[in-house]
Amino acid sequence: MKDIAEQVFQGEHRLTTRERAVQVLRSLCEQHELLAVMPNGQSEEYSSMVLEVDAEGGHLILDVFSPRRAVAELQEDEPFLCVARFRGIYVGFQVDRLQTVDWRDGLAYRVAFPGSTYYLQRRQFYRVPTDPRDIGPVTLQRKGAAALQGMAHDISAGGMRVLVPEPRDFDLHEEEVLESVDFCLKGQSVILAAEVQHLGAPLQTRGGVTLIPLGLSFVAPPAAAEKALMNYVQQRDRELLAARS
């Protein structure tokens, strides 16, 4: 996570309002996202979670770091960089002093609310229109509903837009979590969890079939799949630039 931290803690990724920072940190707390905690300037990395966000009181409650056998060597007044991955987004903040407190029948750390919170949305990597020869049919596996098969319209390292036929059982809805999105990327099988971020207006084909445009966000894609997607996006972008020149 060290290399990610170097990208996250840049001025252009700093959230400019406290209200937005509170919203993002509360999302980490509510979803129980894992924090990577790194003592500033050191190679060690620990795990934690945000247990409570008290914006009015001006503090956060963090779970005691693990592995605990190594935590005893830490200095509570040294700065710590915290990075979490949430829905394809990297969130980072720094805490400067840990205060051990009793929290719900256990121990936790109380820290001052971060002065700055950083938000690196990796799915903002540019999208490219897909070539049907590169990406075959896309199968969406849904929870409690029949699978849907559609075609990709465009793709990025963090998501894709796809056209699928109107479901015959349960309507699609924003924030619906898909068990998997399956497709072949230039002959390589890719299976990713995803979430519906956007539903477009239904389209009618000449044959009378109703298609639904979906904007999907990949959820915690494996590193190998993310790398394959990024490589494809870069290659496809070069192809399109060459075609226009």
The separation between CA 189 and the C-alpha centre of its own chain, rounded to angstroms, equals 21
Per-residue pLDDT at 41: 59
Sequential pLDDT tens for the chain (245 residues): 776 787 788 887 788 889 989 999 999 999 899 999 988 756 678 899 999 999 999 999 999 888 865 565 566 677 899 999 876 678 999 998 888 999 998 999 999 999 999 987 654 456 789 998 999 899 999 999 999 999 999 998 888 999 999 999 999 998 899 999 999 999 999 999 999 988 988 998 888 889 999 999 888 888 888 888 888 888 888 888 787 76
Decide which of 2.40.10.220, 3.30.930.10, 3.30.499.10, 2.60.40.2550 is the CATH code for 128-244.
2.40.10.220
Question: In sequence order, which residues have a C-beta less than 8 Å from that of residue 153 and are 6 or more positions away?
Answer: 129, 130, 160, 161, 162, 163, 213
Residue 101's identity, in one-letter code, is V
Are the beta carbons of 217 and 87 closer than 8 angstroms?
A: yes
Per-residue pLDDT at 176: 92
Q: Across-strand partners of 52?
A: 61
Give yes or no on whether 2-122 and 128-244 have one common fold.
no
Per-residue pLDDT at 241: 75
∠ CA(77), CA(79), CA(81), 5° rounding? 145
Write the DSSP symbol of residue 19: H
Question: In sequence order, which residues have a C-beta less than 8 Å from that of residue 123 and are 6 or more positions away?
Answer: 88, 89, 156, 157, 158, 159, 217, 218
Tell me the C-alpha distance between 53 and 82, whole Å: 15
CATH 2.30.110.10, domain 2-122, yes or no: yes
Per-residue pLDDT at 122: 55
Per-residue pLDDT at 124: 47
- Closest by CA to 100, choosing from 61, 68, 51, is 61
Domain residue spans in the chain?
A: 2-122, 128-244
Instruction: Specify the pTM.
Output: 0.52
Tell me the C-alpha distance between 238 and 9, whole Å: 29
- Closest by CA to 171, choosing from 214, 233, 218, 128, is 214
> What ranges make up the beta strands (E) of 71-170?
80-86, 89-95, 99-103, 106-112, 117-121, 128-129, 138-141, 148-155, 159-165
Outline where 16-164 has alpha helix (H): 18-30, 68-71
Provide DSSP, 187-234: TEEEEEEEEEEEEPPPEE-TTS-EEEEEEEEESS--HHHHHHHHHHHH
Q: Is the peptide bond before 213 cis (omega within 30 degrees of 0)?
A: no
